[in-house]
Amino acid sequence: MAASSPANVHAPARIDLDRCIHCGLCLYACPTFRELGLEMDSPRGRIYQMVQVAGGSAPVGPSYIEHIGLCLACRACESACPSGVSYGRLIEGARAQIEAQCHRALPVRLLRNFLFNHLVLSPALLSIAGVLIYIYQATGLQRLTRATGILKLFGKLGKLERLTPHAEWPFFFRHIGKTFPAEGQRRYKVGFLAGCIANVCFARLNEATVRVLQKNGCEVVVPDGQGCCGALHAHVGQLEKARELARRNIDVFLAGDYDVILNNAGGCGSTLKEYPELLANDPAYAEKARQFRARLMDVNEFLAGIELNPAMGRIDEMVTYQDSCHLAHGQKVRSAPRKLLGEVPGLKLREMRLSDQCCGSAGVYNIVQHEMAMAVLEKKMEDVNATGATLIAASNTGCMLQLEAGVRIHGHGQRVLHVIQILDEAYRKAR
């Protein structure tokens, strides 16, 4: 994921830069180019800037940092590219280069260090943060602050509050280390990677994932010792930390005799599947990473590939599906979630326009590039509302948070659920 030259480890690889033929077919696949119409905020324009920096014609300065930072890293350009440019690797290399050379203000350095090297890596800190959010929401304080409009006094901070995730007590951390037996005859033994923030903010989704897998003959193991996949770190340029986290998860999951290793977040899954690239130059882990990758699947991908338990009740609603960028463009998984939705009795799928265009979540993008993220979200909600669907299905936790904010601001009261939660609801209705 970095350049091959030891003297320039934190930079886009020259072999990836040279693959771009500058045809421009990526431009209109890019959300920031569609929004701004600026070449420098398109994939081709950003690659041009990377080439200039690599050749010494331009510095890693404020302009470069601004244009690279505005990229959503949604990788829609990869699906549009006829030359197979690995833009995801390029943008991660560029951000690693910025991370290595950019001297940020002390408060920013301290905040980034706390978020990426402490909070998301610590179940204890995540639990404390989750409890505080839960109290804020459960006591009605959140409803009160939003109703009074007092948040407007806090400027950008008040706007960011709209993106506050729900803390779902009790947290999923209590299930780490447990094994859940299959219902009926065991067909598969699966290892489940529960994530980091998802254990607090998507505890019910993780529980639903376990139940749906059990319904389909899976013994589900949630092994102890697992942790953050490293996706957030890779996306912000902290590749060494991402490698450290990758090694930890590889050790934990290869120690179990699993038929398949599953996760339920498209963004996390993309990074998990790229562990072999991340650790390609690590002689101790390169082969282990390939073994890990050979067993890894997105939960949609896995369930769509087996004989699904048909014992479901009806859900008489119209649903539209929002592709997770990293599931569709990174993992190339598009049909599996739609196939699963088609298995639910009564559920009608109506495709939205540009379903594989980013919703603006993109990890922490909707926080650090809030205005652009909300502009992208507004257009996404126009496409959602045009379908008339009462239910929005997604396959990534970050997308769900962003779409929930979109429903509050621009929507018509739609429910936002993961595909697996919809299956879980259908199974429960059959009882």
Evaluate whether residue 310 is within a structural domain.
no
Asked if 263 and 345 sit in the same domain, the reply is no
Sign of CA dihedral 81, 72, 380, 116: positive
CATH number of the domain within which 96 lies = 1.10.1060.10
Tell me the average pLDDT across 420-430. 97
Asked if 92 and 111 sit in the same domain, the reply is no
Q: What is the pLDDT of residue 9?
A: 57
Asked if 138 and 260 sit in the same domain, the reply is no
pLDDT per position as a tens digit, 303-342: 999 999 999 999 999 999 999 999 999 999 999 999 999 9
Q: What is the pLDDT of residue 3?
A: 37
287-305 in b/e burial notation, b at 16+ Cβ within 10 A?
ebbeebbebbbbbbbbbbe
Asked if 238 and 144 sit in the same domain, the reply is no
Evaluate whether residue 311 is within a structural domain.
no
Asked if 177 and 291 sit in the same domain, the reply is yes
Evaluate whether residue 411 is within a structural domain.
yes
In the predicted structure, residue 48 carries a pLDDT above the cut 50: yes
In the predicted structure, residue 402 carries a pLDDT above the cut 80: yes
Q: Which of 163, 180, 198 is the last residue of a domain?
A: 163
CATH number of the domain within which 378 lies = 3.40.50.1860
Tell me the average pLDDT across 19-47. 95
In DSSP terms, 319 is beta-bridged to 349, 391
Evaluate whether residue 125 is within a structural domain.
yes
- Up-side HSE of residue 417: CA atoms within 13 Å toward CB? 23
Distance CA 20, CA 58 (A): 19
CATH number of the domain within which 214 lies = 1.20.1050
Distance CA 192, CA 174 (A): 14
Least Cα distance to 8 among 90, 85, 100 occurs for: 100
The residue with tokens 């033929």 is 21
In DSSP terms, 349 is beta-bridged to 319
β-bridge pairing 179-180 and 188-192: unpaired
Structure tokens at 25: 């077919």
Q: What is the pLDDT of residue 247?
A: 97
* 3-class DSSP string for the chain: CCCCCHHHCCCCCHHHHCCCCCCCCCHHHCHHHHHHCCHHHCHHHHHHHHHHHHCCCCCCCHHHHHHHHCCCCCCHHHHHCCCCCCHHHHHHHHHHHHHHHCCCCHHHHHHHHHHHHHHCCCHHHHHHHHHHHHHHHHCCHHHHHHHHCHHHHHCHHHHHHHHCCCCCCCCHHHHCCCEECCCCCCCEEEEECCCCCHHHHCHHHHHHHHHHHHHCCEEEECCCCCCCCCHHHHHCCCHHHHHHHHHHHHHHHHCCCCCEEEECCHHHHHHHHCHHHHCCCCCCCHHHHHHHHHHEEEHHHHHHCCCCCCCCCCCCCEEEECCCHHHHHHCCCCHHHHHHHHCCCCCEECCCCCCCCCCCCCCCHHHHCHHHHHHHHHHHHHHHHHHCCCEEEECCHHHHHHHHHHHHHHCCCCEEEEHHHHHHHHHHHCC
Q: Which of 240, 272, 304 is the last residue of a domain?
A: 304
Question: Which structural domain range is residue 23 located in?
Answer: 6-101
In the predicted structure, residue 6 carries a pLDDT above the cut 50: no
The residue with tokens 């020259």 is 14
Mean pLDDT for all residues in the chain: 92
Q: What is the pLDDT of residue 5?
A: 37
Tell me the pLDDT band of 237, cut-offs 50, 70 and 90. Answer: confident
Give the range among 94-103, 208-217, 316-325, 412-421 with minimum mean pLDDT. Answer: 94-103
Evaluate whether residue 241 is within a structural domain.
yes
Asked if 390 and 325 sit in the same domain, the reply is yes
Asked if 117 and 12 sit in the same domain, the reply is no
| Total number of domains constituting the chain | 4
pLDDT per position as a tens digit, 116-140: 889 989 999 999 999 999 999 999 9
Tell me the average pLDDT across 2-11. 49
In the predicted structure, residue 1 carries a pLDDT above the cut 70: no
| pTM, full prediction | 0.93
Evaluate whether residue 312 is within a structural domain.
no
Percentage of the chain modeled with pLDDT above 90: 81
Q: What is the pLDDT of residue 165?
A: 85
Q: What is the pLDDT of residue 236?
A: 86
Give the range among 64-73, 138-147, 318-327 with minimum mean pLDDT. Answer: 138-147
Sequence-distant (6+) residues with CB within 8 A of 56 are none
Tell me the pLDDT band of 152, cut-offs 50, 70 and 90. Answer: confident
Asked if 232 and 329 sit in the same domain, the reply is no
Asked if 293 and 192 sit in the same domain, the reply is yes
Tell me the average pLDDT across 86-91. 93
Asked if 266 and 149 sit in the same domain, the reply is no
The residue with tokens 């939205």 is 352
In the predicted structure, residue 217 carries a pLDDT above the cut 60: yes
Q: What is the pLDDT of residue 7?
A: 38
Least Cα distance to 357 among 389, 325, 330 occurs for: 325
Tell me the average pLDDT across 400-412. 94
Classify residue 355 by burial, with Cβ atoms within 10 Å: 0-12, 13-18, 19+. middle
Q: What is the pLDDT of residue 67?
A: 96
Tell me the average pLDDT across 167-182. 96
Q: Which of 145, 163, 181 is the last residue of a domain?
A: 163
